[in-house]
Structure 1
């Protein structure tokens, strides 16, 4: 459906195709998370509330007993979780103590204006600002074969996603891609192969969110910030699939030898 909407005169607009698919996935994940949070609170009180509204005393007692059992089981589960965290390693122990004591480090004072952000942007992009050569697409030789990815390889790449990694600018978490790997394999196999056949990487895959992380507690200059790039997880999967064939495949090497005057 998304590919058909982005196809004009038998030519697929890869940018529109990829943008609509990723935007739909991000919106669906956001809606599912909101419904899960809202449904979790209603599930525990729906039984007693319905029994009270209908005037069923026996049902009300049963619903209250079930609610009490659920609360006790949740407390036991949380106790087991805390005990496991304490017994795993020292780092987890310290984090558990911070959680129980509600310890929060002192917040650093930041400038309210955007001047610091603009200065950091210019500082991190100072090497790119001097590049005057525009990027251009080199047409491949007609004898070269276009790399084609299989459905199984894309499925394995989605299964290998680290769910603890932060999402990129597309706001698609790795947990959502990992859980729905079977459903998303076909569409991303088609997107990746279309990108390889056209020789173009979607712009939404190349977008990056730069997070300035202070190198020390009280940064005094721009060099005291370390830029951490958050790239889309889908681009990491794509790069993981394309890199091995490029490294293992036969690459033509042209060597030009110049005579040396002695």
Structure 2
């Protein structure tokens, strides 16, 4: 990944997100990016060469955050995984790189979670198919052995 791709990814990280198991927040990367960008890029190049994520990238911390209602009821808590920010930087850079290629890989009828596509398009298609299938194609013909 290029320094430019990583820079865009670093600056797109939400500052309000909790850090992962390594405890390093997104603000650290954003504040010190000019000093650490070459080292981070070198780490990501090593990950690519060795085909193996660093240990902190293979870990997450699962925590519960409260929804609403009685917090003594477990159903009112939502589990989330806290991932390391370096992992988020890498995945954001890769996502941005692949985004322009998605329309050529993903079929046109796949609409969920694809930018500029709407699941409503598929709902309309299903409705049209149902309406079309109910339209009579002409007068019914008698079956074999059945006369008029």
TM-score, length-scaled by structure 1: 0.35
Residues 69 and 76, structure 2, Cα contact 8 Å, conserved in 1: no
Match of 1:181 among 25, 33, 39: 33
The residue number in structure 2 matching 1:235 is 87
> How far, CA to CA, are the matches of 2:7 and 2:97 in structure 1?
17
The residue number in structure 2 matching 1:16 is none
> How far, CA to CA, are the matches of 1:211 and 1:178 in structure 2?
25
The residue number in structure 1 matching 2:61 is 209
Structure 2 gap segments, 5+ residues each: 106-148
**Which structure 2 residues correspond to residues 134-145 of structure 1 after superposition, within 5 A?**
none
> How far, CA to CA, are the matches of 1:157 and 1:215 in structure 2?
29
> How far, CA to CA, are the matches of 1:152 and 1:219 in structure 2?
44
Q: Secondary structure at the match of 1:168?
A: coil
Structure 1 gap segments, 5+ residues each: 1-148, 252-262
TM-score, length-scaled by structure 2: 0.60
Name the one with the larger helix percent.
1
> How far, CA to CA, are the matches of 1:180 and 1:199 in structure 2?
27
The residue number in structure 1 matching 2:11 is 159
Count residues with an aligned counterpart. 103
CA 172–202 in structure 1, closer or farther in 2 if over 3 Å, else same: same
**Which structure 2 residues correspond to residues 38-77 of structure 1 after superposition, within 5 A?**
none
Deviation of the 1:223 alpha carbon: 3.0
> How far, CA to CA, are the matches of 1:204 and 1:192 in structure 2?
13
Larger-Rg structure = 1
> How far, CA to CA, are the matches of 1:191 and 1:221 in structure 2?
43
Deviation of the 1:158 alpha carbon: 2.0
1:191 corresponds to 2:43: yes
Q: Secondary structure at the match of 1:180?
A: helix
Deviation of the 1:197 alpha carbon: 1.9
> How far, CA to CA, are the matches of 1:233 and 1:201 in structure 2?
13
> How far, CA to CA, are the matches of 2:40 and 2:83 in structure 1?
17
Q: Secondary structure at the match of 1:219?
A: coil
